[in-house]
């Protein structure tokens, strides 16, 4: 018995599977380019061992604990939000007792991959072997080959992008660079804390932005200059992209005066919900303008209703697994931005969605026309075998392969990165194999496309 099978995720039909396997074999060894995610630069700056199994696999992974919570396990019992766990072995046991809940989910595949490939475990996690798992993993985590930098190299990472606030000093990124270690760990400029009036501490964040940049961020012009300086600071450390997590994809094209007045209202704190939304919309357009100038690739990640569970949010704060996707409109929402910059040479926006109905209806047609637009890979809840399948089926015929940008692992769970890329590579090869066996694509072309999806398109799209 083994946790992962060499033919996993390939189509059942033997002829198609054979082609998928060949395609996969041709790209399985390519380096991992990870242009978007949520690992911490500090891990690589400090290069200390990861903590115990529970703190590594359960606590930071909202895919894991949201499922446990949905089935009645309390977050307190899982020690969520606790800096140092009191009883990680007990948390691990609870996790193991409920491992059956993940049947049929990508989480299960990612975990099994890490258990097998990194820790040499070969029996499925269960109540009975929870202790054996715990001990095996805990022991290995102490070994030098499990330190963050060693894992970066073992994973075959070529680039790893983090996601960072303009208020971050980026000292960890600087430390990595100054350490002489040959790795590309790059920051990504994510200005939500200073452009979203609903972000906790928004006004204080703006003030801090002014301090950090030496600009008068209390005025509209000073605020924009402060953002431009921040972007420049990120670029110095290798940043090639920005990221924007707005509730909607709405953009706006206000006059400078109207924008300045709106900024003043927002900063005074007397803007209503409509004005806050308009401000976010205007800021996407301002970010686009800056990208036209400085070449940073924009990523737009809209459509999540954040912190939906009021009690959980009050008790645990942001990012605790209670973010729920909503219906997301792109065609009208993006028009103001596209009217201004949609045909600009060198400008690039990567669009993401949590609303799969937009793939074939809005996103593929938009990306199949506007030179600045590319489609990001399936995101978050849709970063899964079936989600990837639907993405290729719904986007390819209108946008083609070449308006997509390869895979994002988008994860906080560093150890899951190889597993996630492996799933994406296998699903793409399965999709291509189907095209080949149905004579919709030449076999020689399928090999070229597999390589492009895995490697070339990512580097090109993110300017890496």
Q: Dihedral of CA 100/102/104/106: which sign?
A: negative
Select 189 or 370, whichever has its Cβ closest to a copy of itself: 370
Q: How far is the CB of 441 from a copy of itself (least distance, A)?
A: 6
Q: How far is the CB of 382 from a copy of itself (least distance, A)?
A: 7
Instruction: Give the DSSP per-residue string, 302-328.
Output: --EETT--HHHHHHH-SSSS--EE---
**Chain centre distance of CA 169:** 21
What one-character DSSP code corresponds to residue 415? G
At 351 the three-state DSSP class reads strand
Q: How far is the CB of 24 from a copy of itself (least distance, A)?
A: 13
Select 156 or 325, whichever has its Cβ closest to a copy of itself: 325
Residues contacting residue 332 through CB under 8 Å, at least 6 positions apart: none
Select 11 or 245, whichever has its Cβ closest to a copy of itself: 11
Q: How far is the CB of 201 from a copy of itself (least distance, A)?
A: 23
Q: Dihedral of CA 45/31/13/113: which sign?
A: negative
The rounded distance, in Å, linking the Cα atoms of 280 and 386 is 32
Tokens representing 12 are: 């059942």
Select 33 or 358, whichever has its Cβ closest to a copy of itself: 358
Select 181 or 447, whichever has its Cβ closest to a copy of itself: 447
Q: Which helix (H) or strand (E) holds 297?
A: strand 297-300
Select 154 or 318, whichever has its Cβ closest to a copy of itself: 318
Select 125 or 141, whichever has its Cβ closest to a copy of itself: 125
Instruction: Give the DSSP per-residue string, 35-51.
Output: -S----HHHHHH-PPP-
Select 102 or 234, whichever has its Cβ closest to a copy of itself: 102
Select 51 or 247, whichever has its Cβ closest to a copy of itself: 247
Q: How far is the CB of 283 from a copy of itself (least distance, A)?
A: 21
Residues contacting residue 298 through CB under 8 Å, at least 6 positions apart: 241, 242, 244, 287, 288, 291, 348, 349, 350
The rounded distance, in Å, linking the Cα atoms of 256 and 244 is 22
- Give the residue among 160, 164, 300, 166 at the shortest CA–CA distance from 232: 166
* Phi and psi torsions of 185, nearest 5°: -115, 110
* Phi and psi torsions of 76, nearest 5°: -65, -45
Tokens representing 52 are: 């115990």
Q: How far is the CB of 106 from a copy of itself (least distance, A)?
A: 6
Q: How far is the CB of 358 from a copy of itself (least distance, A)?
A: 9
* Phi and psi torsions of 56, nearest 5°: -85, -45
CB 422 within 8 A of CB 25: no
Tokens representing 228 are: 């431009």
Q: How far is the CB of 83 from a copy of itself (least distance, A)?
A: 24
CB 220 within 8 A of CB 255: no
Q: How far is the CB of 17 from a copy of itself (least distance, A)?
A: 9
Q: How far is the CB of 371 from a copy of itself (least distance, A)?
A: 5
Q: How far is the CB of 196 from a copy of itself (least distance, A)?
A: 19
Select 195 or 450, whichever has its Cβ closest to a copy of itself: 450
Residues contacting residue 436 through CB under 8 Å, at least 6 positions apart: 19, 442, 443, 446
Select 198 or 228, whichever has its Cβ closest to a copy of itself: 198
The rounded distance, in Å, linking the Cα atoms of 346 and 323 is 34
Q: Dihedral of CA 18/21/26/27: which sign?
A: positive
Select 51 or 365, whichever has its Cβ closest to a copy of itself: 365
Q: How far is the CB of 308 from a copy of itself (least distance, A)?
A: 7
Q: Do strands 324-325 and 241-244 pair parallel, antiparallel, or not at all (unpaired)? A: unpaired
At 298 the three-state DSSP class reads strand
Instruction: Write the Ramachandran bin of 178: left for phi over 0, alpha for psi from -120 to 50, otherwise beta.
Output: alpha
């Amino acid at each position: 018995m083994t946790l992962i099978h060499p033919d996993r995720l390939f189509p059942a039909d033997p002829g198609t599977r054979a082609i998928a396997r060949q395609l996969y074999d041709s790209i399985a060894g390519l380096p991992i380019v990870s242009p978007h995610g949520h690992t911490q630069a500090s891990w690589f700056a400090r290069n200390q061992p990861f903590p115990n199994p529970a703190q590594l696999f359960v606590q930071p992974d909202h895919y894991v604990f949201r499922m446990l919570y949905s089935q009645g396990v309390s977050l307190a019992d899982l020690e969520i939000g606790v800096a140092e766990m009191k009883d990680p072995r007990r948390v691990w046991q609870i996790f193991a007792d409920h491992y059956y809940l993940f049947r049929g989910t990508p989480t299960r595949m990612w975990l099994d991959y890490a258990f097998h490939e990194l820790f040499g475990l070969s029996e499925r996690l269960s109540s009975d072997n929870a202790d054996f798992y715990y001990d095996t993993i805990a022991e290995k985590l102490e070994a030098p080959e499990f330190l963050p930098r060693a894992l970066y190299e073992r994973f075959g990472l070529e680039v790893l992008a983090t996601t960072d606030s303009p208020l971050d000093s980026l000292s960890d990124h600087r430390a990595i660079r100054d350490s002489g270690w040959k790795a590309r760990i790059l920051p990504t400029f994510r200005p939500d804390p200073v452009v979203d009036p609903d972000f906790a501490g928004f006004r204080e964040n703006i003030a801090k932005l002014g301090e950090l940049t030496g600009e008068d961020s209390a005025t509209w012009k000073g605020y924009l200059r402060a953002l431009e300086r921040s972007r420049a600071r990120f670029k110095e450390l290798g940043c090639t992209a920005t990221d924007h997590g707005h509730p909607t994809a709405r953009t706006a094209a206000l006059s400078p005066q109207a924008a300045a007045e709106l900024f003043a209202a927002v900063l005074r704190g007397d803007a209503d919900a409509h004005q806050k939304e308009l401000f976010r919309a205007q800021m996407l357009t301002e970010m686009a303008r800056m990208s036209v100038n400085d070449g940073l690739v924009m990523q737009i990640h809209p459509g999540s209703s954040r912190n939906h569970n009021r009690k959980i949010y009050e008790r645990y704060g942001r990012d605790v697994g209670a973010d729920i996707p909503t219906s997301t409109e792109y065609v009208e929402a993006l028009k103001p931005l596209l009217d201004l910059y949609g045909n600009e040479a060198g400008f690039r926006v990567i669009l993401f969605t949590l609303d799969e109905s937009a793939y074939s209806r809005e996103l593929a047609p938009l990306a199949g026309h506007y030179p600045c637009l590319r489609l990001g890979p399936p995101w978050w809840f849709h970063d899964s075998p079936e989600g990837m399948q639907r993405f290729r089926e719904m986007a390819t015929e209108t946008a083609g392969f070449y308006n997509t940008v390869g895979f994002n692992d988008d994860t906080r769970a560093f150890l899951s990165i190889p597993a996630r890329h492996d799933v994406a590579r296998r699903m793409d090869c399965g999709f291509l194999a189907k095209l080949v066996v149905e004579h919709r694509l030449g076999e020689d072309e399928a090999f070229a496309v597999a390589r492009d999806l895995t490697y070339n398109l990512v580097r090109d799209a993110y300017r890496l």
